[in-house]
Amino acid sequence: MNIGIDLGGTKIQVGIEKDGKIIHQTKALLKEKDNLTSTLDQVKQFIRPLTKYKVDGIGIGVPSVVDVEKGVVYNVTNIPSWKKVALKDILEKEFDLPVFVNNDVNCFVLGEHKFGVAKDYSCLIGMSIGTGLGSGVIIRNKLYTGINCGAGEIGLIPYKDKNIEYYASGNFFSSFYDTTALEAYKAAKKGDEAALKQWREFGYHFGSAVQVVMYTYDPQAIVIGGSVANAFPFFKETMEESFSDFIYPESIKKLKIHVSQNENIALLGAAALVDLSLEHINGVV
C-alpha cells in the first residue's frame, strides 16, 4: 500500500492505494496559498493520519515542473508561494518514508496505465483538458518525463497566433465566447445550438492537438481526462473529421482514443510512483 497525493492549484486529495483502489480518502480546498509554511502544514496534516497504516511510501503529483530525482518542485500553478520547494526532503524528514514527486498529468497517465482504461497499451499519451492542456507520456511501459520533466507539453507548442492550449482547452471558451467550458457543456446537453457549434469548433482544434501527438510520439492510444473530457461526445465527430489531412492515414486508423473513467486515477498514479525506480521514471528502457 502506498499513500497518493494529488495536489492541484485549488485543492488537495490524499488517500491510500490498495489493490488498485483508493481507501481512506480525504480532500479539501487549499488554504492560504500565499503562505508556504501554511500550505506545507496543510499537506502534512492530510498525510499524517495515513502513516499509521503499513505503507511503503508516499507519491505526490503537482501541477508544475519537477526535478524528479531530487523531488524539488518549481513555480506550482496557482500556488504563488511554491516557487521552489524541496518537497521530497521536507516530507521524508517529516514522515521517515520514501517520497516520490512528479507532475500531476504524468501521474494521470501513469494511473491510467497501471489501473485504468489503458492497462493493455505499452505506448500511450494522457491528455488532460481543463483550463489548460497537459499531457503525460508512457513509452514501452515506462513513464517518460524528459530531462526536465517537460516531456509532453503539447499545449505549449505554437499554433495559429497563440499555442495549442489557447484553442484546445477550457481557455478556448473564455477567450472566444466569453463563457466557460462547463457552461458550454451544460448548454450543449440541453441541445443549445450555439453551444453545440462551439464544441464542434473546439473539436477541430483538439484534433490538431491529437495530430501533434501522433507526429511526435505515435502512440497506440490516447486517454483524455480533465474536466473537459465529459464533453467528448460533443467534439468527437469534428475531432475525427480533422484527421482527414493526416499524412499517415493508416496510423490514425489504428489509434485508440479513450475517455478516463476513474475520478481517482491521478491519485492512483501518484501512489504508483512509489513502485517505480528513479531510473524507470526518468528513462526509457
Tens of pLDDT, residues 174-200 = 999 999 999 999 999 999 999 999 999
Q: Does pLDDT of 276 surpass 50?
A: yes
What distance in Å separates the CA atoms of residue 79 and residue 74, rounded to the nearest whole number? 10
pLDDT band at 32 (very low <50, low <70, confident <90, very high): confident
Q: What pLDDT is attached to residue 8? A: 83
Q: Does pLDDT of 88 surpass 90?
A: yes
Percent over 90 (pLDDT), the chain: 86
Model pTM score: 0.91
Letter for the amino acid at 160?
K
- The per-residue pLDDT for range 197-214, each reduced to its tens digit, is 999 999 999 999 999 999
Tell which residue, 76, 94, 68, has the closest CA to residue 3: 94
Q: Does pLDDT of 284 surpass 70?
A: no
What distance in Å separates the CA atoms of residue 183 and residue 266, rounded to the nearest whole number? 25
The CATH superfamily label for domain 117-259 reads ATPase, nucleotide binding domain (3.30.420.40)
Q: What pLDDT is attached to residue 282? A: 45
- The per-residue pLDDT for range 89-148, each reduced to its tens digit, is 999 999 999 999 999 999 999 999 999 999 999 999 999 999 899 999 999 999 999 888
> What is the CATH code for 2-102?
3.30.420.40
Tell me the mean pLDDT in the region 30-53: 92
Please name the helix (run of DSSP H) or strand (run of DSSP E) that holds residue 93, with its range, or none: helix 87-95
* 3-state DSSP percent of the chain in helix, strand and coil, to 5: 45, 25, 30
Pinpoint the residues of the chain covered by CATH 3.30.420.40: 2-102, 117-259
DSSP strand pairing (124-129 vs 133-139): antiparallel
Pair 73, 61: CB distance under 8 Å: no
Letter for the amino acid at 2?
N
Q: How far is CA 142 from the centre of its chain?
A: 16
What distance in Å separates the CA atoms of residue 145 and residue 170, rounded to the nearest whole number? 24
Q: What pLDDT is attached to residue 277? A: 55
Inter-CA distances, 56 with 13, 41, 113, 149, 246, Å: 19, 22, 21, 24, 46
- Name the CA radius of gyration of the chain, rounded: 19
Q: Does pLDDT of 279 surpass 70?
A: no
